[in-house]
Structure 1
């Protein structure tokens, strides 16, 4: 028997006053109960219980040890219950990584909704283009956009899909005739988006009638952030790629216009990535549920509106 089991048996002996009563209570034997107490006495090198044929007598050291044992085991039970409850009730700090554009347009709203439902959780949201090391950075969840994820020991759940579309400002298209084919883009200022999942100098486009790859040429503007790209496009600097979730409000309001509206990029998956499939804290599972219901639904609605 291990130390904690021996302590538990010892507490019962003190409280019930009989090896036999404890053995019956635990469905064990008197010998096992006696060995548990003796093991503690040998470990402590002190007598806890004076035995006689008629009664047990707890020594002063045994009484002090009993009080300590009851507190230790009570604390342990409380810790176990608290840890088990973590699988049921979200609480504590949730550390989340997300790519910036997705965070600004969709994920921050999901975080606020999640906090309203689970106010005992504090959310620490970190924005970065690159996938972090969840263990080294002590992160609970990473939200990424990618065609596929690299092999790793992490677990992922797909939240939704995203596409980029070609957009420009109405002012730019007033100065430059809108392209009718991908080849016509050669006559335009093409603004280059270079992120982890988008090759800066190559636009891979697809449509119902066929695919096209366009390589922008000549001096232009390049940026690695979707929102900075949106600023440049709205300012009339040229034609650029924007994720549907980033462009949709400007397209609805008329601040931006689709260019080659039958084309869009290949779909990218939006993933929630975390470290383990077993014993997942409730704050993580409930947050992923919120991502699916809020972010996933918004991604689906945007795709249905933009990708005919």
Structure 2
């Protein structure tokens, strides 16, 4: 391997933390990866990584060299991208991760409109509740709903804000008088939604009068998918939380009814997360701009309709 190839391998080792993971990522061998790092250490006359049978750790010299390498490789990538016009014209394959409920209700349509605007881009959309490792999974963008993002080397843009509201079916409320205050929920069948950012064991509710935390007891049903929750609520199984973008059509049609309509959950941000690089392909920047315009505007309209903000 030449010097730049070895540097690229070394950067991936630091980011993935494993020779084996890098070998699988590059369709190479652990021996080749190890030799690339050793060649750099010989060239620099410095130890970059401390190796043990269980883990790798980066030395101080290795950390400084990693930071230099990422800048050098980004400049090299930018020069190559400019030559191929990749920074100017969206093209190629865009690999996107999204949490399922948001994808089904808003993001898939945004992807289709993006494809109409940029037909030279092929979009590969992956649905999963958990935030992926963008490098290991070779993804360009991850779209998440979270109060805050964990510290990472990734960069992000806020697309909009999402809230959950309490809902039930008319049939359920015909048999069980609607709660007047959050404490009344203890007399109802509470259906629990448990996702990465929603704890199953408590509902944190907010209104103009303040906040309230309700802890459901003896739930009859719990699920980790927003659309499955919607099915259970429409079937009259009880009261549950649904994101505004998931509930609004059924609320407008009368299939669902707001419960404690002055309350909603604390705000969650919708983020577009991508790998931290100095230069970003046009297919990524244009896609995030499209998300901001289309998904962000729909989230804002839903919040205005349901929350009044």
TM-score range, shorter chain: 0.7 to 0.9
C-alpha change, 1:281 and 1:247, in structure 2 (3 Å) is same
C-alpha change, 1:130 and 1:83, in structure 2 (3 Å) is farther
**SS of residue paired to 1:177:** coil
Q: Structure 1 residue 84: deviation in Å?
A: 4.5
Counterpart of 2:139 in structure 1 is 139
Alignment partner of 1:182 is 2:201 = no
Counterpart of 1:42 in structure 2 is none
Counterpart of 1:293 in structure 2 is 293
Counterpart of 2:165 in structure 1 is 165
Counterpart of 1:273 in structure 2 is 273
Counterpart of 1:249 in structure 2 is 249
Structure-2 separation of matches of 1:208 and 1:239? 22
Q: Structure 1 residue 193: deviation in Å?
A: 0.3
Counterpart of 1:111 in structure 2 is 111
Counterpart of 1:39 in structure 2 is none
Q: Structure 1 residue 96: deviation in Å?
A: 0.1
C-alpha change, 1:85 and 1:169, in structure 2 (3 Å) is same
Alignment partner of 1:223 is 2:223 = yes
C-alpha change, 1:83 and 1:210, in structure 2 (3 Å) is same
Q: Structure 1 residue 195: deviation in Å?
A: 0.4
Counterpart of 2:43 in structure 1 is none
Q: Structure 1 residue 226: deviation in Å?
A: 0.3
* Mean CA deviation greater in 275-284 or 265-274: 275-284
Could you tell me the TM-score, scaled by structure 1's length?
0.73
Q: Structure 1 residue 218: deviation in Å?
A: 1.5
Could you tell me the TM-score, scaled by structure 2's length?
0.73
Q: Structure 1 residue 199: deviation in Å?
A: 0.6
Structure-2 separation of matches of 1:193 and 1:254? 22
Report the count of equivalent residues. Answer: 230
Structure-2 separation of matches of 1:110 and 1:98? 12
Structure-1 separation of matches of 2:286 and 2:126? 19
1:174-217 CA-to-partner distances (Å, cap 9, x unmatched) read: 01100001011011000000000001010000100121100111
For structure 1, list consecutive stretches of 5 or more residues without a partner in the other structure.
1-78
Q: Structure 1 residue 260: deviation in Å?
A: 0.0
1:42-72 CA-to-partner distances (Å, cap 9, x unmatched) read: xxxxxxxxxxxxxxxxxxxxxxxxxxxxxxx
Give the conservation status (yes or no) of the 8 Å contact 2:146–2:197: yes
C-alpha change, 1:246 and 1:81, in structure 2 (3 Å) is closer
Q: Structure 1 residue 82: deviation in Å?
A: 6.2
1:269-292 CA-to-partner distances (Å, cap 9, x unmatched) read: 000000024110000000000000
Structure-1 separation of matches of 2:242 and 2:195? 12
C-alpha change, 1:166 and 1:236, in structure 2 (3 Å) is same
Question: Which structure would you say has the larger Rg?
Answer: 1
C-alpha change, 1:205 and 1:83, in structure 2 (3 Å) is farther
**SS of residue paired to 2:241:** strand
Structure-2 separation of matches of 1:139 and 1:83? 23
Give the conservation status (yes or no) of the 8 Å contact 2:81–2:87: no
Structure-1 separation of matches of 2:239 and 2:80? 58
Q: Structure 1 residue 99: deviation in Å?
A: 0.2
Q: Structure 1 residue 83: deviation in Å?
A: 4.5
Q: What pairs with 1:75-94 in structure 2 (closer than 5 Å)?
A: 80=80, 83-94=83-94
Q: Structure 1 residue 80: deviation in Å?
A: 4.0
**SS of residue paired to 2:184:** helix
Give the conservation status (yes or no) of the 8 Å contact 2:191–2:219: no
Counterpart of 1:121 in structure 2 is 121
